[in-house]
Structure 1
Amino acid sequence: MYTIAVIDDDMYIGDMLQRLLEEAGYGVLRAYSGTEALMLLERRRPDLILLDLMLPGISGEEVLAKTQGIPVIVVSAKNGIQEKVSVLLDGAADYLTKPFDVRELLARIAVQLRKREQGVDGQPGCGANQNAGGQPGCGAYQSAGGQSGHGAYQSADGQPGRRAYQSAGGQSGCSAHLACGNLALDCDLREARVGEQAVRLTRTEYAILKLLMANPGRVLTKSAMLDCISADTPDCTESSLKVHVSNLRRKLMQAGGKDYIESVWGIGFKLQE
């Protein structure tokens, strides 16, 4: 069995990745900071690392420099070309930008492990890792409720182009018009309406609402929300995010007479279906 180290400070995303990988037949190690990652790598040598760059303490880039030949797939919200080029030149085997499709992640993992097995990276070949279905490194992700494709990540349900969550920055799956019940958002005009009532939004409130409406009923972690809206609202932080969401909820309640946004304690927010 191949072992994969998940190095990410977002506990919710890390839990989802662990469940996904374990159901695909992999062993999983976890680290939540750069310092913890280096301590882990002193004790264990995983077959592959999934590495977030924005870690507390020691950065992901510093961790990458100490991986000592272990293939590393960087999974990060940083989407600048220069950042990708720099990390790849510094030794990362691959780079995947958040948000991502879990099938693509599993495929990239399988490719890197196949290279390792074939000795492409100069390492001795390893035995093939197969899941219960006999396929190397593949498997369907199911939520804690046992239903495929629900929760923070979509499963491999055969639908092309499904993403872990839809972004707020005009990425795939975001129509020019979003609607949920009597709540509507015109993405071209950047206008929100509750029924016939127009709702004036700040730039950050608009980005938050667009992200939530692109993912109705799906819980989005605070860090995932910040990752998705950072390009449009670089000044938004985790502490200020709560304030922006609170102001947005108040405006929508005043216009529609009900609460459209639900807080999920300890995790994040979701739009009421």
Structure 2
Amino acid sequence: MKSILIVDDDVHIGNMVEEVLQKAGYQAARAYSGTEAAMYLESHKPDLILLDLMLPGLSGEELLPRIKGIPVIVVSAKAEVSDKVELLMSGASDYITKPFDTKELLARITVQLRQAVSRGANPELSYEDITVNLSTHEVSVAQIPVHLTRTEYAILKILMQNPSQVVTKSLLLDRISQDTPDCMESSLKVHISNLRKKLREPGGKDYIEAVWGIGFKLT
């Protein structure tokens, strides 16, 4: 069952949308402020978000850039074309103006979920404030681009695919060879050291921990 997060402080509208979604076979979750939505997203990954703009705490405009790898349909009373264009350029997948027809809303949701599947559902990996785009190979830390070598990227991708596990040296070398052949056991520590330094520069903290005699993990 696909899950949809409704971010709206209007209880009446939220109740109506939740009922419509449940009748259509979706699982619905609620957040009544941008701050509450941000906290929810730290531990949950819905398939789609319906986002109001006028919210207590973080506004919808402030929350939108923080959402990665999840389609967002902005649901707002703002009807100006300039507002819609700005939000679409800021990362929104679609925009529907209040008041709206529920059939149109469901149709737009269907389109976005279908497109997400065709894109591979989620072309990004995220860990804390590190983001790796698997399609473009772009890496950012705290939204600051970080330029990695092919080997460094391969190492980071494997670690982020296993964020709660220690990745052994042998597994790391085996998996890296699928993306780049130039990393040997003798040079692995050098690549890890360079990667750790590049990730540390934007935010000033370490993300990779060496587990003595075993391998490496995200920390």
TM-score by length of 2: 0.55
**Cα RMSD, aligned residues only:** 1.4
Residue in 1 that maps onto 2:74 = 74
1:54–1:60 contact (8 Å) kept in structure 2:
yes
Contact 1:7 1:50 survives alignment (8 Å): yes
- The letter for the 2-side match of 1:107 is A
Could you say if the C-alpha distance between residues 123 and 24 of structure 1 is closer, same or farther in structure 2, counting changes exceeding 3 Å?
A: farther
The alpha-carbon deviation at position 118 of structure 1 amounts to 1.6
Q: Distance in 1 between matches of 2:40 and 2:102?
A: 25
Give the whole-Å Cα distance in 2 for the aligned partners of 1:6 and 1:121: 19
SS of equivalent residue, structure 2 residue 30: strand
Partners of 2:121 and 2:41 in 1: CA distance: 19
Give the equivalent residue in structure 2 for 1:39: 39
Give me the TM-score of the superposition, normalised by structure 1. Answer: 0.44
2:89 aligns with 89
State the distance in 2 between where 1:120 and 1:97 align: 28
AA matched with 2:19: R
Cα displacement (A) at 1:122: 5.4
Identity in percent:
58
Deviations 1:111-164 (A, max 9, x none): 00001112266549xxxxxxxxxxxxxxxxxxxxxxxxxxxxxxxxxxxxxxxx
Q: What do residues 162-214 of structure 1 show as CA deviations (whole Å, max 9, x unaligned)? A: xxxxxxxxxxxxxxxxxxxxxxxxxxxxxxxxxxxxxxxxxxxxxxxxxxxxx
Classify the secondary structure of the residue corresponding to 1:65. helix
Matching of residue 101 in structure 1 with residue 101 in structure 2: yes
Counterpart AA for 1:64: L
Paired amino acid for 1:91: G
Distance 1:122 1:58 in 2: 25
Cα distance in 1, alignment partners of residues 97 and 81 from structure 2: 11
Any conservation in 2 of the 1:4–1:48 contact (CA below 8 Å)? Answer: yes
**Would the aligned equivalents of 1:76 and 1:97 in 2 still touch at CA under 8 Å?**
yes
Cα distance in 2, alignment partners of residues 105 and 48 from structure 1 = 12
Unaligned runs of 5+ in 1: 125-273
Specify the code of the residue in structure 2 equivalent to 1:16: M
Output the CA distance in 2 between the equivalents of 1:30 and 1:122. Answer: 22
CA deviations 1:232-260 (Å, max 9, x no partner) are xxxxxxxxxxxxxxxxxxxxxxxxxxxxx
Contact kept? 2:70, 2:122, Cα under 8 Å: no
Say which structure is richer in helix. Answer: 2
Q: Decide whether the 8 Å contact of 1:35 with 1:58 is kept in 2.
A: yes
Quote the offset at 1:75 in angstroms.
Answer: 0.4
Structure 2 residues without counterparts, runs of 5 or longer? 125-219
Per-residue deviation, 1:81: 1.2
Aligned length: 124
Equivalent in the alignment of 2:65: 65
